[in-house]
Every structure is written in C-alpha cells, then in structure tokens.
C-alpha cells in the first residue's frame, strides 16, 4: 500500500493529526507567520515522503486560509506527482452562479487555483454547492457528515424530536437525519432577495407538539440569520429544547450570541471547522475516503 504524509495547515492542525493517526501515516506540522501587512508565510517542518495529504479548511479568515492551502499544495507538488487536498470546509462555494449581472462565479476561480497549484485529488465535507464542486477538474469526493451528526443525537434524550431544514436545499439530508433517529422532518421554503439579502419563508406552519424538541439542520451556520428566521417562523414558544446541528459552524461575528438569544439551547457541529461547538469528529470518514482511493485501480 502506498504511504502518505499528512501535512496540517494552521486552520486544521488537530483534524490533520487525527487523520494521520487513522491512516497510520507520518504527520508534519506547518509554521505560520503573519506579517504586519497581512501576508502569510507558511513553512513545512519535516521531510515529505510518499503521497502528501494537505489538510486545511478555508473558513474565516477565508482568503488567508485559502492562500495557505494553495501554498502548501504548491510546495508538496514539487516533491510528488500526486497531492491530496483535504478541504473540509470549502470557502466561496455559495458563489456558484452569476445570480445578478456582473457577479463573478468565484468558486470557479478557486477551482482553477487548486488545479494550478498542483492538487490532483480533492475531498470536501458537505460542500454547500455540488454545482460549485463540478468546477474542480480532478477526481473529487464530497463526503457527508450527516450520519455522524444524527448518531451523536441518538445519545441525547430527546422529546419527540422534529428535524427541520431551514430551506429546501437540505430537505433530503433532513429526512436522512430523521430516519436515523426514527423521527419526523420538514423543510422550509426559504427565499432570499438577491438585491437586498432579505429572507422570507413561504411555507405552511407545521403543528408543533408542546414541549417538542427541534433540531435545525444545515450544512453551515455563518451569521445564523436563516436559523433565527426559522425559529421565529415556527413560533418558538411551543418548543422544548432547540438544537442546531451543522457540519460547518463558521459562526461569524456574534452569531453564537444571537442564536442563543433566539432560543437555541445548544449548537452541535463537526470539527470540519475548528471551534468550541465541535462534538463530532470527521477524521474517520475522511480517512475512509482516502483508503478507498488508495485501494482503487486508478491510484
């Protein structure tokens, strides 16, 4: 079997170490120096052997983490014909279409940069847009953390849980989550004004059993606006506990405070984005995806 060396970017050091342990691979740390003007200087502290695996989420600060990921990939490509890019959270995935005239499809630019830097394979976790993923012209895998999140909630004592997707985008994922718990799910019809950014929910209000626990499921939570709108729409007063389950807890600014104020009891996220709400480890599903590639004929 081909050997790997896992290189952890500054944004994903702990996850990279966990992946290396699961693969029985060597782990190499990186040093990051940020200059007064904001430039990043990344240094790999170790010798590369075998196929390099770069692990770096591109959450906030998105541009800095993206440049660091590309820099690591570029350096690794000088030592190896193959470079695995593990980007658990892929920034710019929302910008997958020209919604308004003149808008740039930024994820297509990001995809070109990964190709140019030397990435030969890509793994992401619950990317926001599969359309965006198609811009990456290399073998790629989008791995879902939903079963892991659902299994975490199986350990929690819940009262007739209702799984809610704040929009139709994750309706199937909400159903999948609910099936694991033996619960019911609904998806709200959320619409956003492209000019103003204002959110409107156009759905019939479901009947909530008094004291019923609600789990709001989404791929990512950034400002928390969609979650808060969903809570307001469902009429918070009828709920038991309100949970938020997400793969990527970006939680920009004071999003966590706003969510708690809106009635959220607890936020449960994966370590695809490093943060204090991390309860679910995705290193296993990433390692499994790598092993599946390693054993396939196209390696």
Instruction: Return all residues near 289 (Cβ < 8 A) that are at least 6 apart.
Output: 123, 141, 143
Task: Given the residues 49, 190, 237, 291, select the one marked as catalytic.
Answer: 190
Alpha-carbon span 142 to 218, nearest angstrom? 16
Strand-pair category, 199-201 with 190-192: antiparallel
CA distances from 180 to 128, 163, 258, 266 (A): 22, 11, 29, 20
Give ∠ CA 193-197-201 in degrees, rounded to 5: 60
For the four alpha carbons of 209, 210, 215 and 217, in that order, the dihedral sign comes to: positive
Strand-pair category, 51-55 with 84-87: parallel
Is 190 annotated in the active site? yes
Alpha-carbon span 184 to 163, nearest angstrom? 6
- Residues with catalytic annotation? 190
């Amino acid at each position: 079997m081909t050997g790997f060396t896992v290189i952890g970017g500054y944004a994903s050091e702990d996850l990279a170490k966990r992946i290396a342990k699961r693969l029985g691979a060597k782990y190499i740390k990186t040093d990051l120096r940020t200059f007064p003007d904001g430039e990043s200087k990344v240094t790999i502290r170790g010798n590369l052997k075998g196929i390099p695996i770069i692990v770096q989420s591109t959450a906030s600060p998105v541009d800095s983490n993206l440049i660091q990921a590309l820099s690591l990939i570029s350096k690794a490509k000088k030592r190896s014909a193959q470079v695995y890019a593990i980007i658990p959270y892929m920034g710019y995935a929302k910008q997958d279409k020209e919604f308004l005239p003149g808008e740039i499809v930024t994820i297509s630019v990001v995809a070109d940069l990964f190709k140019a830097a030397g990435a030969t394979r890509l793994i992401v976790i619950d990317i926001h847009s599969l359309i965006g993923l198609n811009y990456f012209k290399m073998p790629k895998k989008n791995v879902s953390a939903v079963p892991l999140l659902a299994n975490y909630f199986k350990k929690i004592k819940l009262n007739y849980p209702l799984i809610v997707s704040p929009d139709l985008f994750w309706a199937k994922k909400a159903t999948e989550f609910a099936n694991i718990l033996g619960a019911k799910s609904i998806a709200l019809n959320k619409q956003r004004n492209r000019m103003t950014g204002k959110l409107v929910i156009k759905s019939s209000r479901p009947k909530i059993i008094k004291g019923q626990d609600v789990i709001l499921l989404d791929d990512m939570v950034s400002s928390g606006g969609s979650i808060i709108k969903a809570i307001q729409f469902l009429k918070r007063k009828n709920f038991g506990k309100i949970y938020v389950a997400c793969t990527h807890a970006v939680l920009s600014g004071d999003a966590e405070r706003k969510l708690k104020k809106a009635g959220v009891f607890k936020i449960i996220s994966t370590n695809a984005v490093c943060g204090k709400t991390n309860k679910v480890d995705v290193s296993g599903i990433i390692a499994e995806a790598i092993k599946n590639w390693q054993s396939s004929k196209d390696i």
